[in-house]
């Protein structure tokens, strides 16, 4: 129960993560396809793209916290042990990435039409390792630059890949370039989240600034995206011509801001939405904990809840045709079962496994002075 009562726990991150999971439920289970601001019946379409992006941003926050948060293991009291602490954190991240990847492979093998994010998520964890010592400002600059550069890179690589048969037999190409969550683009979300995780998230002033900057990013990204929109096709559908013939990239695919389009405008706008949600959640989670505890519990058991949702989808909808009320029933079930699980059993089952394996793997790494004094 310590995870529930620990006053140092950043409850807002669990609340935001819970929203991301429930939003992905909607994306999988029948949310409207097109968002029309003048039509309230279409507003559920807001979950498309933004929920998974919020999930990725929060993954970056988690990596930052796992690698020392604001201090980056470089405070005076930790200086002698900083190298060992970072080594332990790297091992924990690598083990988590491996376990998450294997879970993702298993869920994908169920044959649903859900594009499972976990395999992409795992690769992003590994690619984040070289940046675990970076400061918040450097991470934000990297995320911003990459938001502009990566869509061009993916468009060029996708065009070349299409000329040589696509990614049907190359998992790495699919994960990096042509899949539903192309990692080359999505690293921008992870680095943005790592930057947020390097801030003082316990400060209400910082939380307010995160929300404010996020609102500005959303305004800029979506305004420019709407002004340039000419196509709804994702960048990864860049070109499919005769085998061996590399077609000229369709540069118009770099415009607009539709969900999963992979344009700079979507990256900036959706990163802003994620920051707004994180900032507001950090502000309200503790004072409203009683009311938000079910949502917080979904976020605290996010890996288990997400995975069980895919399994339930495969069992209940073998023809990949969820019913009109599926999203509501899955959401209500999660909001009831997750808090009951936490109150009685604590960590979610997959979260417990992930924690146990990663901590045990890292336990063998000791500070240099302890290694020097060790017998033998």
Q: Is the pTM of this model over 0.75?
A: yes
Q: Do residues 33 and 45 make contact, with C-beta atoms less than 8 angstroms apart?
A: yes
368 or 153: which leads in pLDDT: 153
The residue behind tokens 């045709």 is 321
**Tell me, what's the pLDDT at 365?**
65
Is 6 part of any domain? yes
Backbone torsions φ then ψ of 366, nearest 5 degrees: -120, 160
Of 177, 175, 217, give the one whose Cα is nearest residue 195: 217
Residue 315 has pLDDT above 70, yes or no: yes
Per DSSP, the residues of 208-249 read HHHHHHHHHHHHHHHHHHHHH------GGG----STT--PPP
Q: What is the pLDDT of residues 262-287, one digit of tens each?
A: 999 999 999 999 999 999 999 999 99
Residue 300 has pLDDT above 50, yes or no: yes
41 or 50: which leads in pLDDT: 50
Is 370 part of any domain? no
**Tell me, what's the pLDDT at 166?**
57
Residues 6+ away with beta carbon under 8 Å from 28? 114, 309, 310, 313, 322
Is 227 part of any domain? yes
Domain with 229, as residue range(s), is 2-365
Q: Do residues 109 and 356 make contact, with C-beta atoms less than 8 angstroms apart?
A: no
**Tell me, what's the pLDDT at 348?**
95
161 or 122: which leads in pLDDT: 122
Q: What angle do CA 300, 199, 93 make, to 5 degrees?
A: 50
Q: What is the pLDDT of residues 11-32, one digit of tens each?
A: 999 999 999 999 999 999 877 7
- Cα separation, 336 vs 319, whole angstroms: 27
> Could you tell me the two tokens for 120?
């992409």
Q: What is the pLDDT of residues 69-91, one digit of tens each?
A: 888 787 645 556 778 888 899 99
**Tell me, what's the pLDDT at 240?**
45
Q: Which helix (H) or strand (E) holds 70?
A: none
- Cα separation, 370 vs 356, whole angstroms: 23
Is 160 part of any domain? yes
**Tell me, what's the pLDDT at 42?**
67
Average pLDDT, the chain: 87
**Tell me, what's the pLDDT at 30?**
79
Is 279 part of any domain? yes
- Cα separation, 273 vs 213, whole angstroms: 10
Q: Do residues 182 and 236 make contact, with C-beta atoms less than 8 angstroms apart?
A: yes
Number of independent structural domains in the chain: 1
195 or 40: which leads in pLDDT: 195
- Cα separation, 4 vs 13, whole angstroms: 13
% of the chain exceeding 70 in pLDDT: 84
Is 376 part of any domain? no
Residues 6+ away with beta carbon under 8 Å from 26? 44, 47, 51, 327, 331
Q: What is the pLDDT of residues 194-253, one digit of tens each?
A: 999 999 999 999 999 999 999 999 999 999 998 988 755 565 554 444 454 556 777 888
Is 244 part of any domain? yes
Residues 6+ away with beta carbon under 8 Å from 111? 314
> Could you tell me the two tokens for 158?
């996708």
Using pLDDT thresholds of 50, 70 and 90, give the confidence band for residue 184: very high
Is 372 part of any domain? no
Q: Do residues 223 and 256 make contact, with C-beta atoms less than 8 angstroms apart?
A: no
Of 33, 70, 29, 2, give the one whose Cα is nearest residue 306: 29
**Tell me, what's the pLDDT at 206?**
97
Q: What is the pLDDT of residues 89-143, one digit of tens each?
A: 999 999 999 999 999 999 999 999 999 999 999 999 999 999 999 999 999 999 9
Using pLDDT thresholds of 50, 70 and 90, give the confidence band for residue 374: very low
- Cα separation, 254 vs 267, whole angstroms: 11
The residue behind tokens 């503790």 is 286
**Tell me, what's the pLDDT at 349?**
96
Q: What is the pLDDT of residues 352-361, one digit of tens each?
A: 999 999 999 9
């Amino acid at each position: 129960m310590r995870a529930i009562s620990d006053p140092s726990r950043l409850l807002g991150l669990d609340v935001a993560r819970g929203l991301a999971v429930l939003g992905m439920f909607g994306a999988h289970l029948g949310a409207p396809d097109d968002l029309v601001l003048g039509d309230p019946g279409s507003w559920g379409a807001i979950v498309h793209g933004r929920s998974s992006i919020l999930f990725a941003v929060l993954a970056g926050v988690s990596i930052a916290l796992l690698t020392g948060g604001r201090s980056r293991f470089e405070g005076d009291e930790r200086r002698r042990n900083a190298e060992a602490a970072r080594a332990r954190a790297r091992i924990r991240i690598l083990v988590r990435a491996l376990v998450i990847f294997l879970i993702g492979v298993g869920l994908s093998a169920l044959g649903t039409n859900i594009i499972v994010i976990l395999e992409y998520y795992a690769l992003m964890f590994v690619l984040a390792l070289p940046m675990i010592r970076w400061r918040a400002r450097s991470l934000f600059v990297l995320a911003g630059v990459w938001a502009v550069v990566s869509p061009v890179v993916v468009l060029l690589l996708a065009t070349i890949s299409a000329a040589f048969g696509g990614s049907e037999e190359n998992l790495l190409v699919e994960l990096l370039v042509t899949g539903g969550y192309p990692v080359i683009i999505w690293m921008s979300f992870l680095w943005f989240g790592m930057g947020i995780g390097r801030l003082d998230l316990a400060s209400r002033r910082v939380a307010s600034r995160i929300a404010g900057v996020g609102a500005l990013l959303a305004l800029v990204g979506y305004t420019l995206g709407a002004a340039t929109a000419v196509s709804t096709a994702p960048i990864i559908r860049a070109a499919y011509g005769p085998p061996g013939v590399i077609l000229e990239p369709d540069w118009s695919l770099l415009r607009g801001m539709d969900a999963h389009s992979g344009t700079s405008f979507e990256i900036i706008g959706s990163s802003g939405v994620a920051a707004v949600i994180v900032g507001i959640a950090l502000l309200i989670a503790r004072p409203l904990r009683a009311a938000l505890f079910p949502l917080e519990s979904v976020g605290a058991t996010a890996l288990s809840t997400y995975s069980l949702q895919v399994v339930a989808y495969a069992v209940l909808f073998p023809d990949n045709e969820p019913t009109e009320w599926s999203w509501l029933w899955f959401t209500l079930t999660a909001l009831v079962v997750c808090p009951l699980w936490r109150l009685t059993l604590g960590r979610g089952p997959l979260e417990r496994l992930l924690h146990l394996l990663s901590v045990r793997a890292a336990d063998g790494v000791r500070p240099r002075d302890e290694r020097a004094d060790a017998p033998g």
